[in-house]
């Protein structure tokens, strides 16, 4: 392992960490603005121009707030739970190619931390570990609402993972590789090569599972304000609560990268236009998360399980079988 | 050098986690340490270049331990210590030491006598996933299929055990129908 590779990797890790923790903060601003406009309000307006500095104000508030560990909680687990959510979100980013490779001062940069040949499996697995944050936080708090939220987390986890895994199986069969770069190269020919045209069912199923995975409305039942206060976050204060938030928003951004990379051609042929196209797709998927939050009610836990096990999973299995037959004959 | 550092780090972490799992009397500590240990084991697969097995280890065991958490939630108040029935400590320590030594001997004996050879050497230029598939569908085809049938049997048995009122779905009913069912004592 030579030194140049090591330095390059460290720089990439730091850049990704900085950009996406900042984006997570700005993501909250976008969410409040988009929700406000959809509900005919103004949203944050007072701090800075158009409320842009609201993010900084919130950050200062979170960082300086007292870090309270309530009595009767299981201390070590309670303290580590938010770290799990935030850390696994960023760990999953290691196998995502954010851009096509480019050359700076004659040095070719691959904007992916580790090109694992099992990229997509690794991303799904590590993102799934992120749900341990809400589970452990909810179970360690001595609070019934938190415990309810933990039980719901377990239900969500067991339901959605089957759907996302089976949905992704059909595109994997077509591409014949698990690396996201191979997925991208498979669709590099242009819009007509996108996998979404041959796998529309898998695309929709994976998209729905992404909502369950990030815990966004319609599947926001883990921390539904109007039923169980803030669920697992009820007992948290200050930056520990902020870490849950950073993890959630970073997960939203990363899954918004993964969906276009798998189904919508990713960065295409690797030109500047393709890279900008990927950013546009990511922006759309992130916006769609906010749009659904403004437009849809939440589902009950039993409805989520019914949907995942009785509707989506059979659809995914049928899709895999049909794909297999089409590929064989 | 990095591999050695990573190996010893994760070996230490894994053993510590499983030690906590066995010794603690607090259900939440035990479950969390078990999950952490299972995930740390995947590091060994990654160090050995078996990326596919590493990722599968993470995916399978996060799901499996999550199911254990659900049981823990049902049976214990996970924020309190569980009062364990203490038997004869010497018998427990003796038996567990004996069992541990036996397991080590079972796996170490073929290695010491050098009876283990790779029957299916790694194929050059083929990805990790493909190699696993090749071995699974040639050498280990029968165990693989038998495992599939056993899982199918377990699934059917689970559905039969749990599915007493499977023609009724509360999710698909409206409130009036649920009340009606409650009055009929079907859902009680």
Question: What tens digit of pLDDT does each residue of A177-192 get?
Answer: 888 888 888 888 777 7
For residue A303, which of A212, A197, A181 has the smallest C-alpha distance?
Answer: A212
pLDDT digits (tens, 9 = 90+) for A198-252: 888 889 999 998 888 888 878 888 887 777 888 888 888 888 888 888 888 888 8
Best of A80, A125, A132 to disrupt the B interface (most B CBs within 10 Å) is: A125
Q: Which residue has the higher pLDDT, A50 or B83?
A: A50
The interface pTM score, or ipTM, of the predicted complex is: 0.81
In whole angstroms, what is the distance from residue A177 CA to residue B128 CA?
10
**Does residue B101 form part of some domain?**
no
Angle between helices A238-263 and A132-140 (to 10 degrees): 160
Q: What does the block give as tokens for B39?
A: 């995930």
Do B2 and B68 belong to one domain? yes
Tell me how crowded residue B33 is: count the other CB atoms within 10 A of its CB.
21
Question: A103: part of which helix (H) or strand (E)?
Answer: strand A102-104
Q: What are phi and psi of B115, to 5 degrees?
A: -90, -10
Out of B47, B67, B83, a domain closes at: B83
Q: By the 8 A CB rule, do A122 and A116 touch?
A: yes
pLDDT digits (tens, 9 = 90+) for B51-78: 888 888 888 888 888 888 888 787 777 7
Which CATH number is B42's domain given?
Answer: 1.20.120.1200
Tell me how crowded residue B135 is: count the other CB atoms within 10 A of its CB.
14
**Does residue B48 form part of some domain?**
yes
In this predicted structure, the answer to whether residue A73 has a pLDDT above a threshold of 60 is yes
> A106: pLDDT confidence band, cut at 50, 70 and 90?
low
Please report, for residues A94, A126, A129, B7, B111, the alpha-carbon distance to residue A10 in angstroms, rounded to integers and kept in the order given. Answer: 12, 20, 23, 20, 39
From A61's Cα to the closest Cα of chain B, the distance in A is 30
> B186: pLDDT confidence band, cut at 50, 70 and 90?
low
What domain range is B161 assigned to?
140-188
What's the pLDDT score for residue A1? 59
Residues of A with CB under 8 A from a CB of B: 1, 72-74, 76-77, 116-118, 121-122, 124-126, 128-129, 131-132, 135-136, 139-140, 142, 147, 150-151, 154, 157-158, 161, 165, 177-178, 300, 302-303, 306
**Does residue B103 form part of some domain?**
no
> B185: pLDDT confidence band, cut at 50, 70 and 90?
low
Choose the closest CB to B28 out of A121, A139, A165: A139
Q: Where are the domains of chain A?
A: 3-328
In this predicted structure, the answer to whether residue B14 has a pLDDT above a threshold of 90 is yes
Flag if A122 and B26 touch (Cβ within 8 Å). no
pTM of structure: 0.85
Which residues make Cβ contacts (< 8 Å) with residue A101, sequence separation at least 6?
Answer: A108, A109, A110, A111, A270
Burial A71-106 (b: 16+ CB within 10 A, else e): eebbeebbebbbebbbbbbbbbbbbbbbbbeeeeee
Q: Which residue of B has its CA nearest to A148?
A: B73
What's the pLDDT score for residue B188? 47
How many independent structural domains does chain B possess?
2
For residue A212, which of A145, A270, A165, A266 has the smallest C-alpha distance?
Answer: A165
Choose the closest CB to A117 out of B2, B59, B127: B127
User: What is the arithmetic mean of pLDDT over A154-163?
Assistant: 86
**Does residue B99 form part of some domain?**
no
**Does residue B63 form part of some domain?**
yes
Flag if B58 and A126 touch (Cβ within 8 Å). yes
Q: Out of A220-224, B7-11, B101-105, B122-126, pick the least confident.
A: B122-126
């Amino acid at each position: 392992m030579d030194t140049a590779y090591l330095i390059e990797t460290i720089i990439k890790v730091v850049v990704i960490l900085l950009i996406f923790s900042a984006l997570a903060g700005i993501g909250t601003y976008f969410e409040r603005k988009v929700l406000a406009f959809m509900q005919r309000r103004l949203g944050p307006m007072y701090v800075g121009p158009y409320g842009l500095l609201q993010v900084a104000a919130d950050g200062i508030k979170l960082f300086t707030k007292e870090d309270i560990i309530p009595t009767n909680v299981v201390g070590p687990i309670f303290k580590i739970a938010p770290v799990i959510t935030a850390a696994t979100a960023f760990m999953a980013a290691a196998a995502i190619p954010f851009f096509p490779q480019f050359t700076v001062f004659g040095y070719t940069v691959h904007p992916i931390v580790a090109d694992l040949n099992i990229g997509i499996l690794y991303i799904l697995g590590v993102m799934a570990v992120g749900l341990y944050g809400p589970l452990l936080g909810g179970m360690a708090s001595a609070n019934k609402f938190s415990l309810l939220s933990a039980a719901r987390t377990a239900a969500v986890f067991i339901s959605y993972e089957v759907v996302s895994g089976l949905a992704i199986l059909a595109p994997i069969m077509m591409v014949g590789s698990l690396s996201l770069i191979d997925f991208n190269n498979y669709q590099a020919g242009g819009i007509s090569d996108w996998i979404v045209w041959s796998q529309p069912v898998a695309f929709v199923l994976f998209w729905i599972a992404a909502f369950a995975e990030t815990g966004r409305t319609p599947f926001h039942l883990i921390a539904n304000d109007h039923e169980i206060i803030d669920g697992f976050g009820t007992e948290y204060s200050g930056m520990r609560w902020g870490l849950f938030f950073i993890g959630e928003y970073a997960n939203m951004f990363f899954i918004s990268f993964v969906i276009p990379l798998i189904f919508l051609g990713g960065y295409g042929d690797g030109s500047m236009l393709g890279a900008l196209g990927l950013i546009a797709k990511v922006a759309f998927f992130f916006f769609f998360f906010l749009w659904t939050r403004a437009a849809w009610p939440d589902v009950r836990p039993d409805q989520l399980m019914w949907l995942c096990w009785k509707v989506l999973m059979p659809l995914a299995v049928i899709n895999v079988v049909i794909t297999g037959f089409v590929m064989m004959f | 050098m990095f591999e050695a550092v990573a190996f010893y780090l994760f070996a230490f972490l894994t053993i510590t986690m499983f030690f906590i799992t066995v010794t603690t009397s607090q259900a939440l500590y035990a479950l969390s340490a078990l999950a952490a240990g299972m995930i740390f084991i995947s590091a060994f697969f990654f160090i050995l270049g078996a990326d596919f097995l590493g990722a599968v280890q993470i995916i399978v065991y996060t799901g499996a331990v999550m199911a254990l958490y659900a049981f823990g939630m049902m049976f214990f108040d996970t924020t309190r210590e569980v009062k364990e029935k203490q038997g004869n400590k010497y018998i427990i320590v003796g038996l567990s030491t004996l069992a541990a030594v036996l397991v080590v001997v079972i796996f170490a004996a073929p290695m010491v006598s050098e009876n283990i050879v790779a029957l299916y050497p790694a194929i050059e230029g083929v990805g990790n996933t493909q190699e696993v598939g090749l071995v699974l569908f040639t050498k280990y085809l029968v165990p693989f299929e038998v495992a599939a049938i056993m899982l199918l049997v377990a699934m059917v048995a689970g559905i039969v055990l749990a599915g007493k009122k499977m023609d009724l779905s509360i999710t698909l009913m409206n409130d009036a129908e649920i009340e009606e069912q409650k009055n009929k004592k079907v859902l009680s």
